[in-house]
Amino acid sequence: MKEKIRIFLDTDLLEKYLLGSTTQEETLQVERYIAMYPEVRQTFDELQGNLEAFAKMHALTPPEGLKAKILAIIRAQDAGKRRFRRYAIAASITAFIFAGSSYFFYDQNKNLQQENVIVNNKIKSLEADMREQLEDVRNQFIVLNNPNTRKYYMKGNERAKEFKAVAYVNPVKKLSYINVQNLPQLPEDQCYQMWAEVNGEMVDMGIIRDFEDNDKLWALPYSDSAMGYITIEPKGGNTSPTVENIVANLKY
C-alpha cells in the first residue's frame, strides 16, 4: 500500500492537480487518492501551503482603481443578469398569455364554425320548407282560381253527422285539395285518418290533427276516378283503413 502511495506521489499528478492542469480523469484519480490516503491528503495540504507562501512572495500591488473597475464590472454583469431574468419572466408571462388567448380564440373560432354550419343548415331547410309551402300555396291558388276546378261538398254518414268538407278537384292540372270544415269530437284514443284510393291502391294521407284550423287545404293525390275516405282509427293512425269506420267518402 505504501508502495502504491509512493508511486502515486512520484507521478507529479498531485502537483498538476494543485495547479489545476489535470484532465478530468486525472482529477478524479487524485481526488480519490486524497480521500483514501491521509498521507496523500497531508502532502496535498503541505503543497497548498507551500503554493500560497511561494505565491505571496511574488505579490505585487495592482494599480489604483483596478478594484473599483472589477467591482463595477461584476455589478454591471449582475444587473444585466437581473434585467435578463426580469425580461425572461416578462417574456414567459407574455408567451403564457399569448398561448392562453390563442387557445381561447381557437376554441371560439371552432365553436363559431360549428354554429355557422348549423345556421347554414337551418337556412337551407327553411328555404326548402318555404319553397315547398310556396309551391303548395301556388297550387292551391291555381286550383281555386281555375274555371275547370270542380267543387265537391262532403257530408258525414251516421257516424259523423256534423262532418263537413269541401274538395276541389282540377282534372286539367291534375290537382285536388280538401278542406275539412267540421269534425265531431272523438274520444282521446281515436283519431281521424284520411285515405285516398288511387288506381285501386289505398294511400295513407295522414291523420287530421288540426281540424280546428278549418281554412287548411289538404293536398290529395290526383288520379282519374280516385276516391277519398275519412275513417276513425285508433290513436296514432292505422296502416290500412278500417272500412266499417268510414265517416265520409268522396269520389272525384
Stretch that binds other proteins, among 65-73, 137-145, 178-186, 206-214 (CB under 8 A): 65-73
Phi and psi at 176, nearest 5°, equal -145, 145
3-class state of residue 142 by DSSP: helix
Q: Please report whether residue 51 would count as binding other proteins according to CB under 8 A.
A: yes
Residue 196: CB atoms within 10 Å:
22
Stretch that binds other proteins, among 73-81, 163-171, 189-197, 237-245 (CB under 8 A): 73-81
Determine the size of the site formed for other proteins (CB under 8 A).
Answer: 37
Q: How far is the CB of 46 from other proteins (least distance, A)?
A: 8
Per-residue b or e along 214-227, where b marks 16 or more CB atoms closer than 10 Å to that residue's CB: eeebbebbbbeebe
Figure out which of the listed residues 3, 60, 187, 212 binds other proteins, where binding follows CB under 8 A: 60
Task: Give me the count of residues in the chain.
Answer: 252
**Amino acid type, 196:** A
Q: Please report whether residue 80 would count as binding other proteins according to CB under 8 A.
A: no
Q: Please report whether residue 7 would count as binding other proteins according to CB under 8 A.
A: no
Stretch that binds other proteins, among 55-63, 133-141, 142-150, 207-215 (CB under 8 A): 55-63
**E strands along the chain, which residues?**
150-155, 164-170, 175-182, 190-198, 201-207, 217-220, 227-234, 246-251
3-class state of residue 205 by DSSP: strand
Q: Which lies closer to other proteins via its Cβ, residue 83 or residue 209?
A: 83
Q: Please report whether residue 24 would count as binding other proteins according to CB under 8 A.
A: no
**What residues from 113 to 172 belong to the interface with other proteins (CB under 8 A)?**
none
CA dist 78 → 82, 84, 112 (Å): 6, 10, 50
Figure out which of the listed residues 4, 32, 38, 73 binds other proteins, where binding follows CB under 8 A: 73
Q: Please report whether residue 36 would count as binding other proteins according to CB under 8 A.
A: no
Binding site for other proteins (CB under 8 A): 12, 15-16, 18-21, 31, 34, 45-46, 48-63, 66-67, 69-71, 73-75, 77-78
